[in-house]
Structure 1
Amino acid sequence: MAEIIKVYKEHLPSLRFIGKCYTNADRVGGFGHKWAEWFQNGWFEELGNLGGAPDIENGYLGLMRCDSSNFENTFEYWIGLFFSSDTSVPSGYDYIDLDDGPIGVCWIKGKEDEGGIYGMHEQCAVRFQENGMGNFKNDHENRAYFFERYNCPRFTEKDEQGNVILDYCVYLADL
């Protein structure tokens, strides 16, 4: 069973997220098949050659944004990486420019192969609120931004029980 083991606030600088965007129409249960496509096609390696974003915790990212009042029509699931805000975007990729600001982070511990670490958005939202981080930032289209950060080594190295830690993050409104 997956559990949230840590909740904290972090500050990110202005960043450029570079990747590819998917919608609910691309779901096959979830987006695991799109992740497999990324690894098969070497897209992470291609983007990795751009240098990444210095001075932040990084990793492969599954970034989601949507307007919660119109989830079905506005949900986007992006796969990619964070970069410095002035990074050139290679052909075949799209990007989102993100302002500097605070994020809330939940560490979700569990077994990746059982899928329990995924789908814990509601539990994380409750824990963010309990920890004074309930004001999620919305953009000019009323979309909130959440992301899964597959940090190395937390996510890539299993503990003695076979558990990994997935970072689940949300951009917070400045108060």
Structure 2
Amino acid sequence: MSVSAPDRIGRFDGRALNVDACLGITALLALTAIPVAGAPAALVYLASGVALAAFRPALTAVELLEARLLLILPALCLFSAIWSQFPTETLRSSIQLMATIVIAVLISQRVRPLTALTAIVAGLLPLVLASVLFGAYRSDTGALVGLFGSKNEMAGMSAILALIGVGLAVSATIRWP
């Protein structure tokens, strides 16, 4: 996606600062920190996502309209609060799902793939390395839980980091748009 004149605010080292990319990268970095930092990281993720949507509301509406099929499931989840046994919990979880998908759609439309993947690696690499070097082990099995508090979450984050890292290494010769 090329940067048009309204997207540029300020100058940084002779280049225009892309606010959409900055907000998207902030959201992705916060997303990678949620397993360790919890609610504060989730708040930064949501604030970045809301700012991304509010920065250019007309474009946000167009992008969400184009991705309307992705919004069917969270909309159904929102409606399911009507017949749920636990409507408040269902509504809360549905709103979280809707917000996450809306922010993901906006990031996918406004941040270049290479930039997004690099941001995820930049967020996960220090966490996984710190987990391996300084993390905790379970006392009953000796499994590495790292900073994540769960061996499954540690394995999941490590797998995501490894897959994206291999993808970035392989795609070093590919020219991204």
The TM-score with structure 2 as length reference comes to 0.25
Please identify the structure whose Cα radius of gyration is greater: 2
Q: Report 1 or 2 for greater relative contact order, CA contacts < 8 Å, sequence distance ≥ 6.
A: 1
Question: Which has more strand, going by share of residues?
Answer: 1
